[in-house]
A and B are shown apart, each in its own frame.
Chain A
Amino acid sequence: MTDAIVERPIVPTEHRPDRAAHEVGHKVAPLLLTEQSHFCPGCGEPIAARTILENLVELGVAGQSVAVLGIGCYTAMASSFDIDTVQALHGRAPSVATGVKRMKPDSIVFTLQGDGDMVNEGLQEVLHTAARGESVTAILLNNGVFGETGGHMTATSVLGQRTKNTIDGRDAEYHGYPIRIADLIAQLDGVAYVARGSVHSPGAIAKTKKMVHKALQMQVERKGFSFVEILTMCPTGWFIPTIEGPQYMDDTLGQVHTMGELEVRG
């Protein structure tokens, strides 16, 4: 906890300003049915969700959007998103999204999955959906652990990462190596856009939001499969104080799952 209380004057923040001012941005992300969110303190997933929801509104496709959610902490968003939603089984979201989009070609379909859902359980699904060039956008929330079960190793956990079932740190000989899913997907011809961003700082969030914008734009322009991997913080699953989440993410996941745009079809 940053307890260095600086004896600086406090500006009241209960009420809106009494002098001439205009609001910028929104307190709550758009397209939400409730402000309540039951994520752990310091969780990166709602931050990532905001970048998606804001893009759907800004692209003017909110009224035709369909969310297909995998199984993980973010599954709770299924009930709070004011978006037509199909809840998929663990790992199957890209296939479900394919079926939705093939039947409703004018909808804007995106999946929301975690690293356990996509890179463990549903690796086959996302690769084949990408190879088929399905006009859907897959969004991966990668925090390098199974958050919902309390912090266990996934296929993207980095070497040395401590989890409930790699208590002394992930060891290559024993636990194998992490999969860089965005790099795998970027190899496939059916892909129009692949990028990897994160939400560990305002700057990174702004970049991620642009990536999600481009990915959804590719879908709007029917250029093929689009994919954005978003590194998110999971202090609970990393067993660290919430304040250390952003730096820990940058020092571990960020070093292996390097950020940037990997494929941008012309």
Chain B
Amino acid sequence: MKVLTRGTVTVDVEQCKGCDMCIPACPPGVLSMSREVNGRGYRFPILHPGCTGCQACQQICPDWVFEVFRYEEPIELEVPES
């Protein structure tokens, strides 16, 4: 299945304190918490296809973890049938 993806983010893994708040705040729900932990023992957000570059994660993040980008041309990313 193809998922339209308008943008992406970078995640500054070491800045994250694992508060999780970006996960439910992401409108398309394309963030989830990693299993691995960063240098301070916190899990951090990982990205899945479908990001719209809306900055919700960046706005609610208390620790400045996210850079947000919008592709000039949206792309299609493959995801397994859910």
Contact = CB atoms under 8 A, between A and B. Distances in A.
B8 A42 contact: no
A41 B66 contact: no
Contact of A13 (B5, B8, B32, B73): B8
Q: Dominant SS at the B interface?
A: mixed
B10 A15 contact: yes
Interface residues of B, number: 52
B69 A17 contact: yes
A7 interface: yes
B58 A243 contact: no
Interface stretch (A45-53, A57-65, A126-134, A222-230): A45-53
B55 A25 contact: yes
Interface in B44-82: 46-49, 51, 53-56, 58-73, 75, 77-80
Interface residues of A, number: 52
B72 A20 contact: yes
Interface string B1-25: 0000101111110010111110111
A243 B12 contact: no
Contacts of B12: 27
Interface of A: 1-17, 19-29, 35, 37, 39-47, 50, 199, 201-202, 205-206, 233, 235, 241-243, 245-246
Nearest to A235: B19
Contacts of A2: 20, 23-24, 32-33
> Across chains A and B, which 5 residue pairs bring their CB atoms closest together, nearest first?
A41-B17, A42-B19, A202-B56, A242-B19, A41-B19
Contacts of B27: 202
A107 B53 CA distance: 36
5 contacts: A19-B71, A42-B17, A44-B62, A202-B55, A243-B20
A27 B58 contact: yes
A241 to B, nearest CB: 8
Interface of B: 5, 7-12, 15, 17-21, 23-25, 27, 32-33, 35, 42-43, 46-49, 51, 53-56, 58-73, 75, 77-80
B20 A242 contact: yes
Contacts of A9: 48-49, 77-80
A202 B60 contact: yes
B47 A11 contact: yes
A49 to B, nearest CB: 9
B7 A21 contact: yes
Given A9-B48, A27-B67, A43-B62, A243 B8 contact: no
B57 to A, nearest CB: 8
Contacts of A14: 10-11
Nearest to A206: B59
Contact of B10 (A13, A26, A206): A13
A24 B70 contact: yes
Nearest to B5: A11
Contacts of A5: 32, 35
B49 A8 contact: yes
A21 to B, nearest CB: 4
Contacts of B68: 23-25
Given A10-B46, A27-B12, 11 more contacts: A4-B32, A6-B48, A13-B8, A14-B11, A25-B59, A37-B62, A37-B64, A39-B63, A50-B59, A202-B55, A243-B24
